[in-house]
């Protein structure tokens, strides 16, 4: 396996994923962990926010150099190598962040099968100005900064740029060269190994005790549930809270998939009336979110207390949630209070199990495929915890929910029929309180205005409105106004995020 030593880079998990994608098993450890080199065939030193000359900045673990294993240092990892072997590192006033072009100066195994000049992604303030004795410079940036150096004999390689970031044109080639040509790792690690490993791990942790999960029907909690079910069977208690704010037929689909098809011990709680009563007269978006989040926890706790002997809580946390919650520290302003069905309850005295914590969305989907989850669940667009409540502007009522469900279903079906569902990241309809005049069957109709929204996005952080062809929008609009008489007008939302958010509330 390949060992990644983390010095605090924001890209470390991405690096681990890229190595997994190449087919090598990688393990991430922290620089101050006790590091075991059993079965390790190569080491990558990650980037990090520190400067090597700062006091208390992390240093190279000693046993690593003695091991004589191939080493690749990236960014901060590069500076550590430079310093350790007697090179010179300097801090520049102005850093280099973003795309830069590098030129290959000398042959390197790392750069086999790349162009002589290509774009790379930089993110640093410190630069190596002199490489240690016995090392040679293999590439420089256009500004003359050393972009890579190495000691081929000792198999020590250093890169100033980030090969794991997609903007580095030959990033994958470089990592492959290191893993396959330099570390000589040829065994192909597959996601099925991860699945087997996790199942064993969960079985060991839970033993013959019981675990509970709040199933939402979304990708992450679904995959976490099946994975745990494979490990402990009926000792997993799944609870699905139907808050009445779901899409058409959603509750039924979840029940038939998990209970009837997979045989999971699933309790479906019909709490529609409870939620609607709480939401009566509420129009403020943040209040809606708060009410739904709190009520959700209350319902879940009530159900969970019936399973008195549960010791573990399973959550479908994935890697992007981990970064999100790390980022939502003091400094970032609160835009909306996201309520996640996974974000459950702090004072229940349950031990957490998060089997998907280090995986990226596409890997979670692949795990789901391995476990036999249907495509409709795995490739479903994201759906917010507060559901349709934040897509009905103003007060949420049963009548409005029914209208929106019909409109949303028509839009989604039109996208699926035309092959557009899988091309956009997320699509849905919004019901506004605006009423406009229309003419239906020669009669005046004073109906609602709905907006369709479809976006292209990576992980929901930023988004652009999708350029869906006019005829697809036309088809959706005609069907909606024909089939839902309460709606007289359909518009398409053409705002990106930022400045807008994806959801309207």
DSSP structural state of residue 116:
S
The structure tokens 């939502």 sit at: 328
- 3-class SS string, 442-470: CEEEEEEEEEEEEEEEECCCEEEECCCCH
Binding residue for ligand XMP, selected from 149, 385, 424, 453, defined by CB under 6 A:
385
Residue 501 touching ligand XMP (CB under 6 A): yes
Choose among 4, 86, 73, 78: nearest CA to 41: 4
Annotated catalytic residue, options 75, 124, 363, 381: 75
Q: How far apart are CA 53 and CA 471, in angstroms?
A: 61
Where in 324-343 is the site for ligand XMP (CB under 6 A)? 336, 338-340
230 touching ligand XMP, by CB under 6 A = no
CA-wise closest residue to 401 among 412, 415, 387? 387
Angle, in degrees to the nearest 10, between helices 219-232 and 361-370: 40
Is 183 marked active-site? no
**Quick one: 47 or 386, whose CB is closer to ligand XMP?**
386
The residue range among 36-44, 152-160, 380-388, 488-496 that interacts with ligand XMP, by the rule CB under 6 A, is 380-388
Reply yes or no on whether 167 is catalytic: no
Least distance to ligand XMP from the beta carbon of 50, Å? 32
Least CB distance to ligand XMP at residue 217 (A): 12
382 binds ligand XMP (CB under 6 A): yes
Name residue 157's beta-bridge partners: 72, 150
- Note whether 305 binds ligand XMP by CB under 6 A: no
Shortest Cβ distance from residue 309 to ligand XMP (Å)? 29
Least CB distance to ligand XMP at residue 245 (A): 11
Closest contact distance (angstroms) between CB of 390 and ligand XMP is: 7
Known binding-site residue numbers = 216-222
191: part of which helix (H) or strand (E)? helix 191-206
Query: What residue numbers does the annotated binding site for ATP cover?
Result: 216-222
**Of 124, 162, 243, 339, which residue is the catalytic one?**
162
Classify burial at 159, counting beta carbons within 10 Å of its beta carbon; exposed 0-12, middle 13-18, buried 19 or more.
buried
Active site residue 381: no
**Interface of this chain with ligand XMP, residues 419 to 458, rule: CB under 6 A:** 426
Contacts of 381 (CB under 8 A, 6+ apart): 421, 424, 425, 426, 427, 428
Do β-strands 88-104 and 71-74 pair in parallel, antiparallel, or remain unpaired? unpaired
Query: What is the C-alpha to C-alpha distance for residues 89 and 125, in angstroms, rounded to an integer?
Result: 10
Closer of 119 and 495 to ligand XMP (Cβ): 495
User: What residues numbered 459-488 form the site for ligand XMP, per CB under 6 A?
Assistant: 460
- Contact between 168 and 162 under an 8 Å Cβ cutoff? The reply is yes
Cα–Cα distance between 373 and 360 in angstroms, integer? Answer: 17
Q: Give the neighbor-by-neighbor strand order of the sheet with 310-314.
A: 265-270, 236-242, 210-214, 310-314, 351-353
Shortest separation between residue 319's beta carbon and ligand XMP, angstroms: 15
Q: Which is nearer to ligand XMP, 247 or 338 (CB)?
A: 338
CB closer to ligand XMP, 169 vs 426: 426
* Residue 497 binds to ligand XMP (criterion: CB under 6 A): yes
Question: Does 386 contact ligand XMP by CB under 6 A?
Answer: yes
User: How does DSSP assign 246-292, residue by residue?
Assistant: PPTTHHHHHHIIIIIIS--EEEEEE-HHHHHHHHTT---HHHHHHHH
CA 85 from centre of chain? 38
CA distances from 18 to 2, 188, 358, 502 (A): 12, 13, 13, 28
Q: Based on CB atoms, which residue is closest to ligand XMP, 146 or 463?
A: 463
Q: How far is the CB of 339 from ligand XMP (least distance, A)?
A: 4
503 near ligand XMP, rule: CB under 6 A = yes
Which residue in 150, 164, 358, 363 is the catalytic one? 164
Nearer to ligand XMP, 120 or 424 (CB): 424
Which positions are catalytic?
Answer: 75, 162, 164
- List of residues contacting ligand XMP (CB under 6 A): 289, 336, 338-340, 382, 384-386, 426, 460, 497, 501-503
């Amino acid at each position: 396996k390949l060992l990644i030593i983390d010095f605090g880079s924001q890209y470390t998990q991405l690096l681990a994923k890229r190595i997994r994608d190449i087919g090598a098993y990688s393990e991430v450890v922290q620089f101050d962990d006790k590091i075991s080199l059993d079965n390790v065939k190569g080491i990558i030193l990650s980037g990090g926010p520190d400067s090597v000359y700062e006091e208390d900045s992390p240093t190279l673990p000693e046993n690593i150099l003695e091991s004589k294993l191939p080493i690749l240092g990236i960014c901060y990892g590069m500076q550590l190598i430079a310093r350790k072997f007697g090179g010179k590192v300097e801090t520049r006033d102005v850093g280099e962040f973003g795309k830069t072009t590098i030129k290959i100066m000398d042959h390197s195994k790392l750069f086999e099968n790349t162009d002589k000049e290509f774009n790379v992604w930089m993110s640093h303030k410190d630069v190596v100005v002199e490489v240690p004795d016995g090392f040679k410079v293999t590439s420089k940036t256009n500004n003359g900064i050393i972009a890579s150096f190495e000691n081929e004999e000792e198999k020590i390689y250093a890169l100033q740029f980030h090969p794991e970031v997609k903007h580095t044109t030959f990033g994958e080639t470089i990592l492959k060269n290191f893993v396959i040509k330099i570390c000589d790792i040829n065994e192909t690690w597959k996601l099925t190994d991860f699945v087997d490993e996790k199942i064993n791990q969960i079985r060991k942790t839970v033993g013959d005790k019981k675990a509970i999960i709040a199933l939402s029907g979304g990708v992450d909690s679904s995959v976490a549930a099946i994975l745990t079910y494979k490990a402990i069977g009926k000792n997993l208690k799944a609870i699905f809270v139907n808050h009445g704010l779901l899409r058409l037929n959603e509750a039924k689909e979840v029940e038939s998939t998990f209970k009837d098809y997979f045989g999971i011990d699933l309790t479906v709680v019909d709490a529609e009336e409870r939620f609607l009563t709480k939401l009566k007269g509420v129009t403020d978006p943040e209040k809606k979110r708060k009410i739904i989040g709190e009520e959700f926890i209350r319902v879940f706790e009530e159900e969970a207390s019936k399973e008195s002997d549960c010791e573990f809580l399973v959550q479908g946390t994935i890697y992007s949630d981990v970064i999100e919650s790390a980022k939502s520290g003091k400094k970032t302003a609160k835009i909306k209070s996201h309520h996640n069905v996974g974000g459950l309850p702090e004072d229940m005295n349950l031990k957490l199990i998060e089997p998907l914590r280090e995986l990226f969305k596409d890997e979670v989907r692949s795990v789901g495929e391995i476990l036999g989850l249907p495509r409709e669940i795995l490739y479903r667009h994201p759906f917010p915890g507060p559901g349709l409540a934040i897509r009905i502007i103003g007060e949420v009522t049963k009548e409005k929910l029914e209208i929106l469900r019909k409109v949303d279903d028509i839009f989604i079906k039109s996208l699926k029929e035309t092959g557009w569902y899988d091309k956009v990241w997320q699509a849905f309809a919004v019901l506004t309180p605006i009423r406009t005049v229309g003419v239906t069957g020669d009669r005046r109709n004073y109906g609602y205005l709905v907006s369709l929204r479809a976006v292209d996005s990576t992980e929901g952080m930023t988004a652009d409105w999708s350029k869906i062809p006019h005829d697809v929008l036309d088809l959706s609009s005609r069907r909606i106004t024909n089939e839902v008489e309460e709606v007289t007008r359909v518009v398409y939302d053409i705002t990106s995020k930022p400045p807008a958010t994806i959801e309207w509330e």
